[in-house]
Amino acid sequence: MGAGLRVLAVDDVRAALDELCRLLRAAPEVAEVRAAGDALGALRSIQADPPDAVFLDISMPGLSGLELASLLARLSEPPVIVFVTAHEGHAVSAFGIGAVDYLLKPVRAERLADALARVGRMVATRTAVPAPRTEPSTPDTMPALPVEAEGRTRYVRRGEVRFAEAHGDYVRLHTPTGAHPVRIPISRLQEYWEDFGFSRVHRGYLLALDAVRELRSDSVGGMLAHTDVGDVPVSRRCVRPLRERLLLAARRGELGRRA
């Protein structure tokens, strides 16, 4: 391991994140500890400067630890994953993703030492046999969202969504099969999806560009983006940027895919 492990701790609960960072900094095997309060922040940190290992909470809003770990597994050189959670029920899924350990909260120093030893062995093995050089890949951010209804969970794929409508801390995902409520603020969904063909066209709406069939004026002089599942209001300040993005998408042949 040489200079020691470089690790990233991820937890949306500040007190739990601070305690995990404290324990990691106190471990002699660890040279550097970074922290992230959500999955998006973790992705950005990993892309900017990949750590040796990620100590990852499972239950987080928006993108869970299991979903984040699945994304990281697609990287050419993924970090070693250790899950840190208050629940035992996800252990099978965690190890199925490839985690090297599964720590229950509150984390004890001796258990953390065991996990760090496993991480160290994994990192040493990777260092001894360098992987072929490849271009770094960017993990797709939240390609599907879980929808809870009547005691069942189904996943709505991003490609099905024509637009998302804000309802407080929830959004309603409008698709050809109906509108599906998901507990995530629209600002957070925008962060996840804006690089994948979605545009915030109104404070309450996030629109899939390739779902737009036409732009039309409403009865009071405003602008509407017409999709096959309904019309989306476009705020005045967003009309010009939306037209420019639609023009660029049309030149690339990217419009009308969901029509």
CATH 3.30.230.70 fits domain 157-251: no
Do residues 79 and 53 lie in contact, with contact meaning Cβ atoms separated by under 8 Å?
yes
Q: Where are the domains of the chain?
A: 5-128, 157-251
Q: 194: Cβ–Cβ under 8 A, 6 or more apart, which residues?
A: 200
Residue 187 pLDDT level (bands cut at 50, 70, 90): very high
Domain 5-128 classified CATH 3.40.50.2300? Answer: yes
175: pLDDT strictly greater than 50: yes
Q: Which of 70-84, 85-99, 179-193 has the lowest mean pLDDT?
A: 85-99
As a 3-state breakdown, the chain gives helix, strand, coil percent values, each rounded to 5, of 35, 30, 35
Average predicted confidence (pLDDT) for the chain: 85
241's enclosing H/E stretch is helix 236-251
- Please, which pLDDT band fits residue 142 given cuts at 50, 70 and 90? confident
* Fold match between domain 5-128 and domain 157-251: no
Average pLDDT over residues 233-242: 91
Instruction: Quote the pTM value.
Output: 0.52
CB 174 within 8 A of CB 228: no
The per-residue pLDDT for range 120-133, each reduced to its tens digit, is: 998 887 766 555 55
CA-CA-CA-CA torsion sign (24, 25, 31, 37): positive
Q: What is the pLDDT of residues 29-57, one digit of tens each?
A: 999 999 999 988 998 899 899 999 999 99
Q: Reply yes or no on whether the pLDDT at 75 is more than 60.
A: yes
β strands within 58-213, DSSP E: 80-85, 101-104, 144-149, 152-157, 163-167, 170-175, 178-182, 198-202, 205-208
Quick one: what percent of the chain has pLDDT higher than 90?
49
pLDDT at 68: 86
Beta-bridged to residue 102, according to DSSP, are 83
Least Cα distance to 159 among 206, 208, 207 occurs for: 208
Q: Is the pLDDT of residue 97 over 50?
A: yes
The confidence score (pLDDT) of residue 86 equals 83
Q: For residue 66, what pLDDT is reported?
A: 83
**Of residues 87, 91, 109, 110, the one with CA closest to residue 101:** 91
